[in-house]
Chain A
Amino acid sequence: MDHIRVSLPLDPEQVKALRAGDTILLSGALYTARDAAHKRLVACLDEGRELPFDPTNQLIYYVGPAPASPGHAVGSAGPTTSYRMDPYAPRLIAAGLKGMMGKGRRSPAVIEAMKEHGAVYLGAVGGAAALIAQRIKSSQVIAYDDLGAEAIHRFEVEDFPALVLIDCLGNNLYETGPAQYRED
């Protein structure tokens, strides 16, 4: 399969051209966040405080990596299930976030926000965590150190394999893919 090369931070024009089902290779910097970090990010927005990073055109990867063993930049680092971030994601998209990466379905509210602001939802293969870790070249905690695996990390990635799950038009691979192979 042909891969589309996507560099990070995202280019809003390229994001608009991505379609559900495209396979891509990501290179550049992204930020990680899961449940507890999202709660704090949205609290910042609510209180008008500055976020620990500027979300404009950024990609957030939903992951809580395993600790790095000697000789590795990170431990195993596959995606976590995204729906737990649904209550927070529309706020971040409105604040400029252009991409999210995780696994699993999203809520209608998230998909609406993606359509309105031209954002994309990417998938990494859940559980392919040791393979994914090899494509992460460096990792640095940039905020919420006290959260451990849930702290916000900045990852430099190279040829990170991902898939467009939901595009900015609302096309959804979780609907179109299974429909093709459903029997009876």
Chain B
Amino acid sequence: MGGYTVREIAAAQIKDCVKELILEASYVIGRDVEETMMQFKEEEPSPSGRAVLDQLLENYRIAREERVAICQDTGMCVVFLDIGQQVHITGGDLTEAVNSAVREAYNEGYLRKSVVRDPLYDRVNTRDNTPAILHTRIVPGDKLDILVTPKGFGSENMSRIKMLVPADGEQGVVDFIVNTVVEAGPNPCPPVIVGVGIGGTMEMAAILAKRMTARPLSEANPDPRYAALEETILSKINASGVGPAGIGGRTTALKVNIAASPTHIAGLPVAVNICCHAARHAARTM
């Protein structure tokens, strides 16, 4: 990279990129999700469970080929931007660029608008699915990493966070995560992907959990202890019997993705963000 050079990126370019990623995520499921589901289908002992997985795989195919939404709940649009500190964004407001991308993608892409202006007193649809939920981070370098994850609320509503205490230990963490998924039963559209954030502060655990819903299913936590924990929790969830669509079977979750972070001496925050099988995300580096 050499000396400290500033790289300019126009807000309009970011808007175009975010818009493309929203459309891509809404129509085309990731290969990793599709392949993992096929593998689970081979092992699924329940005939009605297999029939559900067949419908879901067929649904992915139709959505991809016809360029229609994988699920009608095209979600609230969560956008992660990792902005290199050498990047200078020019020609407009970054937040507005992201919101314009949402507005254009949801209108032109026949995606459902599901956002209300106020959570309590003024539940009026904003009619263009704005605002996006925007998480930015300043990182070294001169690149801009964009991750778009439209999130449906059938599964968002089943997500939970709990401030465990250090004495709860590994067993407490396992129980909380497994119970969250099993008690959600059919509601979050299983098979699900379980994003988990352990440590940090309350909001950090939640953001980590959201990021983990988009980690490729072929990856495991780089720390072997956490990788083993991911496996343990996955088997326990799949021993629950909930199954595809919650009607019985062994395929309740496709993957458990954990991220851990330093925390306070007195704390053990755990956030579980459940993502349904319509696990939509798309990423690009600018």
Determine if A149 is an interface residue (Cβ-Cβ < 8 Å).
Answer: yes
What residues on B are CB-neighbors of A163 within 8 Å?
48, 247
CA distance A60 to B19 in the complex (A): 35
Q: Are A183 and B62 in contact (CB under 8 A)?
A: no
Q: Are B185 and A104 in contact (CB under 8 A)?
A: yes
CA distance A134 to B68 in the complex (A): 11
Determine if A174 is an interface residue (Cβ-Cβ < 8 Å).
Answer: yes
Determine if B249 is an interface residue (Cβ-Cβ < 8 Å).
Answer: yes
**Would you list 8 pairs from A and B whose C-beta atoms are within 8 A, ordered by A residue?**
A72-B68, A80-B73, A127-B71, A127-B277, A133-B68, A165-B247, A180-B241, A182-B239
CA distance A183 to B241 in the complex (A): 7
Chain B min CB distance to A67 (Å): 5
Query: Contacts A131-B58, A148-B127, A179-B241: A174 and B276 contacting too (C-beta < 8 A)?
Result: no
Interface residues on B, range: 35 or more
Determine if A178 is an interface residue (Cβ-Cβ < 8 Å).
Answer: yes
CA distance A133 to B243 in the complex (A): 24
- Among B4-12, B109-117, B224-232, the stretch that binds chain A is B109-117
Determine if A170 is an interface residue (Cβ-Cβ < 8 Å).
Answer: no
Q: Are B55 and A128 in contact (CB under 8 A)?
A: yes
Determine if B216 is an interface residue (Cβ-Cβ < 8 Å).
Answer: no
Give chain A interface residues in 130-184, CB to chain B under 8 Å. 130-131, 133-134, 148-149, 161, 163, 165, 173-174, 176-184
Q: Are B187 and A103 in contact (CB under 8 A)?
A: yes
Q: Are B48 and A103 in contact (CB under 8 A)?
A: no
Chain A min CB distance to B148 (Å): 17
Query: Contacts A66-B72, A126-B186, A128-B56: A149 and B241 contacting too (C-beta < 8 A)?
Result: no
Task: Fill in one digit per residue for A78-97: 1 if any B CB lies within 8 Å of its CB, else 0.
Answer: 10110100000000000000
- B residues sitting closer than 8 Å to A (CB atoms) are 45-49, 51-52, 55-56, 58-59, 62-63, 66-74, 110-114, 125, 127, 154, 157, 185-187, 189, 239-243, 245-250, 276-278
Q: Are A179 and B248 in contact (CB under 8 A)?
A: yes
Q: Are A75 and B112 in contact (CB under 8 A)?
A: yes
Query: B68 touches which one: A64, A75, A174 (CB < 8 A)?
Result: A75
Q: Are B70 and A181 in contact (CB under 8 A)?
A: no
Q: A128-B55, A131-B62, A183-B239 are in contact. List 20 more A-B contacts (CB 8 A).
A: A64-B72, A75-B69, A76-B68, A104-B186, A123-B245, A126-B154, A126-B245, A129-B69, A149-B113, A161-B55, A163-B247, A174-B186, A177-B46, A177-B247, A178-B185, A179-B241, A181-B241, A181-B243, A182-B239, A182-B240
Number of interface residues, chain A, beta carbon within 8 A: 47
Q: Are B69 and A66 in contact (CB under 8 A)?
A: yes
Max chain B C-beta neighbours (<10 A), residue from A21, A66, A103, A127: A127
What residues on B are CB-neighbors of A23 within 8 Å?
48, 51
What residues on A are CB-neighbors of B127 within 8 Å?
148
Query: Contacts A81-B154, A183-B239: A76 and B46 contacting too (C-beta < 8 A)?
Result: no
Q: Are A69 and B110 in contact (CB under 8 A)?
A: yes
Determine if A51 is an interface residue (Cβ-Cβ < 8 Å).
Answer: no
What residues on B are CB-neighbors of A66 within 8 Å?
68-69, 72, 74, 110-112
Q: Are B245 and A81 in contact (CB under 8 A)?
A: no
